[in-house]
Structure formats: C-alpha cells, structure tokens
Amino acid sequence: MRKSKDVRPPSDIKPFAQTPLNLDVAIVGAGIGGLSAAIALVRDGHRVTVYESAAELSEIGAGVQMSPNGVRQWLEWGIGPNLLERSLMPSEMKLRRWKDGEFLSRTELNPDFERKFGAPYLVLHRADLHSVLLKHAVKLGVKVRVGSRVIEYDFDTPTIKLVNGEVVQPGLVVAVDGINSFARSQFSKFPYRGPQKTGVAAYRLMADIADLKADPETAWIVSSTDLNLWVGNNCSAMSYMICNGKYLNLVLSHPDATDTSNKSQQELTEEMLSYFHDWDPVLMKIVEKKKTIQNWPLFEVDPLDKWASDSGKFIVIGDAAHAMVPYLSMGVSMAVEDAAALAKALSYMKDRSDLLPALQLVEKLRIPRTKRVQEASFSNGQVLHLCDGPSQRQRDAALNPSAEGKLLDNSPYGLNDPKTQAWCYGYNVVRDVEDYVRSGGFRVNSHP
C-alpha cells in the first residue's frame, strides 16, 4: 500500500489558463474519480483543492481493469507515459468454462481496441494508478488536504465545513466521495438508502508470479499478459497480471451469502473453497498459490435523478452517483468520463451565471449514460454466472465461433459484442458534450 501525507504543488507551477473564467473548486474525495476531476479542472485553469477524509492517501491493494473510453481521457490529459509505465496491455481476454477450463471465446484487446477506440485496454494495480494520478495532479498545481473530512454542506452558498471546524467557500463544490457518500445523503431530496447489496461478492487474491512460473502446471497462466475468465455455476474467476508482471491478480465472484467482515484468512479460504473446490483443477492449482485473500461484497447505488444543486454551485459525480458491479470494467471509466464532461461543460461558461446550465448539461448527458452502463454491467455478470442448463448452452453456442477466431456480429458477452463495445468503449464523452452544445442544447445565461 502506498501512502503519502498532505501534498502541495511545487511553487513554479502555472495553470494552463484555457478558460477565461477561473473558479475556485473544492473536490471532496481523493479517490481515483476525485483526482481525475482535479486533473481535468486544473488543466483548464481552475484553482483546485481536494479535501480527503483519510489521514494518509492510499489505495487498497488489488488490480483494476481500465477500458479505452476512460484511458483515452487520461492520455489526453498527459498522464500517458507514467500510466503506461505501470500498466500491462493484455492482448486477449479468454473466456473459459468453469469446470474444465474449456475455451469458450476470445476477445482481442490490444492492439485491436487501440485501433478501434483510440486507446488501449489496461490492467494495473490500484495503488499504482492512484499514485500516478496524485503525482500528476500535484505537478499541475492541485492542493490535496488529507485528514479533511467534510461534515457539513451548504449547497447554495456553497460552503463545506471540515471536521476541524474550518469552513471553506469555493466557487464550486464537486463531491466525489464514493459509495458511502455523505454529500449524496445530504443533497438528495429522497432519503439516500446508501449502498445496496447486489447479491454478489468477490474474493480478491494475489499470487507471486515467481511461484506460478516455478510450477509447470501453472507456468502457462503467466506466460502471456492475457486475461483469463472462468465462468458458470453462479460464479466467475478472473485472472490477470499486475505490477509489471510481479503478481497475478485473481477476482473470484460468488453469491454474497455470509458476513465475512471478521473472518480470518483461513476461514475465508475455506469459504472460498466451498464455492470453487470443483472448478477447473488448473485454476484451483493457481488459487492454491495465493498469498492473500480478501472478500469484497459488491454494491450499487440507486440511480440519482439530480446531480447538481439549483444554485449551480454543487455537483456529485463518480461512485457516489452511480457505483456499479465490475463486469464491464467501467466503474473507473465512468468517474473519468464524469470529470471530462464537467471540465468540458465549464469551458463554455462566459460568466458565473453560466454555472447552472453547465452543470445541467453534465446531468443531462451523464445520467442516462451511467444508468445504461450500470444496467449493462449487472446483466453482463448474470450472463457470465449462468448455471449449466439450456441458457448456458445457448450462450456457449453463440460464443463459440469467437474461440475459433471468427468475429461475432452479436455476442451475449458484452466485452466481445461489437455493439456493446461500440457504445461502451467507443464512446467519447468530450465529443458528446461538443455535439450537444453544437446542437443548441446548451444555452448560457450570459448569452441567451
């Protein structure tokens, strides 16, 4: 786990100053979404401070898969060299049958995705991603204040009160405070039900590549950067390498049936085996080599029908607005798209009275998009987790030609369905904002 204390920009940094109207922006939450928003906004000349409740900045150790629609924004923001240095670019996703590893389908990822969607599909360690974003944000002039939990909001003025009693009054507050969002609980006119169980949880395991390489039965899994995903029987098991090929990351999804919060490593292992003991023996051999195991119940939040305050001085984005299950690898990308949409919308402002229409533009485009992705992610998980039976056989028959290298016109699995790929990964949020403005959908107050 990487840790860092309060961070301030070097004194010689000059803002990009692309926007005639520079705002003081307070971002609440220094997660991947908050730091992405900070980078997008500071690049446009806004003065950005991020308030983070944790006393030290860190990310929990596990892998993350990143889709091209989010990666594209980071590349445009100049993070490419540092990001790519820490990432792996898998060439394929291989879907396998749960019981025996039978090859069900192949999806070409890199360089195919880069050619089709203008950015690669990446996998990396969350801590690496977080530290790349933090470093970049600070270099561009973002101030990050740790130990600064926000405990009160006034959405009109706008003001935020920090846990130490300090009151801050910026020009705009952007809440990116995650699935347990305090901002959302205060903002929504409907009582916030908080994160909702999805009925699915995921064991996250890490194994040393060196151990896997040393065993002839498991060496094949680390002989390429491919993603392997075993599916069926109400569960799935995803594997990919992270940390420049130092560890294999395994994510074992299963029904969320018990409270594992106080369970030991031994108890978690026994419980994991109760779901997976009769899976592909090769997979189980890989699983045996794990160093650590954690269990993460997967939550969603109800779609939020209003993200911006009537004052036009507050907006909520990221997981707080649309947390989703990870079966299309779109959670991070949705937060990055939110950030890019916000920065682009603000760039059309001519004076401060344009804040409200700018935030409403973000809502208008982001609410339907994130809802659609949330739903598609959930149903993709259901397709992957089908138990043996007629629906599973139908799914496998539809997938099978791709295992033999044929391109599919339609696929029940989103990642290799051309239509899903196009609207999920080919989507360009900045272009969407531009098109919307061009079509006359955005009228600034100062220029009616």
Ligand X SMILES: Cc1cc2nc3c(=O)[nH]c(=O)nc-3n(C[C@H](O)[C@H](O)[C@H](O)COP(=O)(O)OP(=O)(O)OC[C@H]3O[C@@H](n4cnc5c(N)ncnc54)[C@H](O)[C@@H]3O)c2cc1C
Nearest CA to 35 among 16, 17, 57, 18?
57
CB of 34 to ligand X, least distance (A): 5
For the CB of residue 321, give the shortest distance to ligand X in the complex, in Å.
8
The Cα angle at residue 120 between residues 412 and 413, in degrees rounded to 5: 5
Give the residue with the Cβ less far from ligand X, 296 or 423: 296
CA 85 vs CA 64, 108, 123, 140, 210: distances in Å: 15, 21, 11, 20, 21
Q: Cβ 142 to ligand X, closest distance in Å? A: 14
Give the position of tokens 């051999």: 285
- Which residues of this chain interact with ligand X, rule CB under 6 A? 28-34, 51-54, 64-65, 149-150, 176-179, 182, 202, 296, 298, 318-319, 326, 329-333, 335
Nearest in space to 48 (alpha carbons), one of 151, 175, 170 = 170
Query: Which residue number, 80 or 281, has a Cβ lying nearer to ligand X?
Result: 80
Residue 349, φ and ψ in degrees, nearest 5: -70, 140
Classify residue 412 by its DSSP letter: S
Q: Which is nearer to ligand X, 331 or 414 (CB)?
A: 331
The active-site residue out of 72, 126, 204, 369 is 204
Nearest residue to ligand X by CB is: 31
CB 253 within 8 A of CB 296: no
Residue pair 385/255 in contact by the 8 Å Cβ criterion: no
- Looking at the Cβ atoms of 271 and 354, the one nearer to ligand X is 271
Residue found by looking up tokens 């916030």 in the block: 192
Quote the least distance from Cβ 444 to ligand X, whole Å: 28
CB of 389 to ligand X, least distance (A): 27
Which residues are within 8 A (CB) of 318 and not within 5 positions of it... i.e. 6 or more apart? 29, 31, 33, 34, 37, 176, 177, 178, 334, 335, 338
Catalytic (active site) residue 86: no
Closer residue to ligand X (CB): 28 or 93: 28
Strand (E) or helix (H) holding 48:
strand 47-51
| Tokens 């259901």, residue located | 382
Shortest Å distance, C-beta 55 to ligand X: 10
Q: Which is nearer to ligand X, 64 or 79 (CB)?
A: 64
Catalytic positions, please?
204
